[in-house]
A and B are shown apart, each in its own frame.
Chain A
C-alpha cells in the first residue's frame, strides 16, 4: 500500500436536508473501498480530526467528516464554531443522527464505494458513534471513550439522555476502546454497557487499556499514550478490515 490519497472540502445534505460542510478523504490505492464517517470531538471540525480522516484514506477507506457546527458558524474557524455551538447547548442527538445519515448516504453514492459504512468517533464523538449505530443501518461502529452512554453527568444539559436504552437497536458490530484510568466513562460503566449488549446478543468487543485515560489517541494532547494508541489503531484496522472490506 502506497498510502496515497486526496482530500477536499465538500457540501453534503445533513439533518433535514441542511447543506453542511464536510471534509472528504479518498483513497488513492484502490478502486473499491468501504466508507467511514468520522465524527469530530467536541472541540470541533479541527486539524487533528481531519488528520484522522486522511489516515483512513491512507489505509484504503473513503472517509468523510461532517462539520457538526457548520449551522452555527459557517466559515468560522473550528474553535470559534465550537464555542458558538457550545453556547447554544451543543448538538442535539436528533440532528447528529441526521448529519451522520447524510454523511453515510454521501459515501454510498461515491464511485467505488462498496456500500459498507462504518462510523467512528472520539470523546463526545464516541458517544455519538454509539448513538449513530443504534439509530442507522451501518456495518461497523467504533466508540473511542465516549461518555454519557450509560450515565449522564448531573451538570450536562437537560436534553442529553443516556443511550444505553438504545442498545437493543444496535445495527452492527461495535468496537469499544477505553482507558482504564478514564473517569468518563469509567471501566465500570463500559462493563455495564457490555453486559447490556450481551443481554441483547449484540456483537461487540471492548478493550480497556491500562496506563491510559481519556483521549489517549490524541497525539497533540498530554493524554496521548503511545502504546494504547498504537494497539488501538491496530484493532481498528482489523475490525474495519473484517466488516467493511470489499
Chain B
C-alpha cells in the first residue's frame, strides 16, 4: 500500500550525493514502497537540500529491523558521547 505518511524535519548538516557534498536543510522519513530495496515496504529517509533541487538528495531504504537498530544506535552514540560535546 501507499501509506502517504511522511515525517519531515528541518536539518543542519551535510550529505554526500552523486555530485559530491552539499549542505542539508530537510530530512523526510516515510514508510512506503522502496525504489531499490528488495522489500514491499521500507523505512525511507531522504536527506535533502531543497534549494539545490530534487537531485540534491541522499536516499536510504531500510528494513524495519535496520531502521529500529539505526535509531537505537544513534541514541546510544549520543548517550555515550563525552560530557560537554553534545
Contact between chains at A83 and B40 (CB < 8 Å): no
**Which residues from B are CB-within-8-Å of A213?**
40
* B: number of interface residues (CB 8 Å): 25
The number of chain A residues touching the other chain, given as a range, is: 35 or more
Task: Kindly state the separation between the CA atoms of A80 and B50 in the bound complex, as whole angstroms.
Answer: 11
Could you mark each residue 213-243 of chain A with 1 if its beta carbon is under 8 Å from any beta carbon of chain B, else 0? 1110000011100000000000000000000
- B5 touching A156, Cβ below 8 Å: yes
> Least Cβ distance of B35 to chain A in Å?
5
Q: How far, in angstroms, from A209 to B57 measured CA to CA in the complex?
A: 38
The stretch from B25-33, B64-72, B73-81 touching chain A is B25-33
CA distance A153 to B30 in the complex (A): 14
**Smallest Cβ-Cβ distance to B50: which chain A residue:** A87
- Nearest B residue to A46, CB-CB: B35
Extra 10 A-B pairs, beta carbons < 8 Å, given A90-B4, A155-B3, A183-B1: A43-B35, A77-B55, A80-B57, A81-B54, A87-B28, A123-B1, A147-B1, A153-B3, A156-B5, A213-B40
> Is the beta-carbon distance between A72 and B39 smaller than 8 angstroms?
no
Q: Which residues in A have their C-beta under 8 angstroms from that of B6? A: 86-87
Whether, in the assembled complex, A124 has its beta carbon less than 8 Å from a beta carbon of chain B, the answer is yes
A73 in contact with B5 (CB, 8 Å): no
Closest to A44 in B: B35
B14 within 8 A of A: no
A184 in the interface (beta carbon within 8 A): yes
Among A113-154, those with CB < 8 Å from B are 123-124, 147-148, 153
| Closest A residue, CB atoms, query B6 | A86
The 4 A-B pairs of least Cβ separation, nearest first, read A184-B1, A73-B54, A84-B54, A76-B54
The CB with the most chain A CB atoms within 10 A, among B32, B33, B38, is that of B33
Which of chain B's residues have a CB closer than 8 A to the CB of A83? 28, 46, 48, 54, 57, 59
A 180-213 contacts with B by CB, 8 A: 182-184, 213
Chain B positions within 8 Å of A, measured between CB atoms, are 1-6, 8, 26, 28, 30, 32-35, 38-40, 46, 48, 50, 53-55, 57, 59
Contact present for B1 and A182 (CB under 8 Å) = yes
- With a cutoff of 8 Å between Cβ atoms, the chain A residues found around residue B38 in the complex are 221-222
- Shortest Cβ distance from B36 into A: residue: A79
| Residue A50 interfacial (CB < 8 Å) | no
> Considering the chains assembled together, what is the distance between the CA atoms of A215 and B17 in angstroms?
30
CB of A86 within 8 A of CB of B28, answer: yes
Contacts of B50 in A (CB 8 A): 87
Assembly CA distance A73 to B53 (angstroms): 8
Checking A42, A79, A81 against B2 with a beta-carbon cut-off of 8 angstroms, the contacting residue is: A42
Beta-carbon nearest neighbor of A83 in chain B: B46
The distance in angstroms between the C-alpha atoms of A223 and B1, with both chains bound, is: 11
Report yes or no: B54 in contact with A72, Cβ–Cβ below 8 A: yes
Q: How far is the CA of A82 from the CA of B53 in the complex (A)?
A: 12
A41 within 8 A of B: yes
Contact of A41 with B53 in the complex, beta carbons under 8 Å: no
A17 within 8 A of B: no
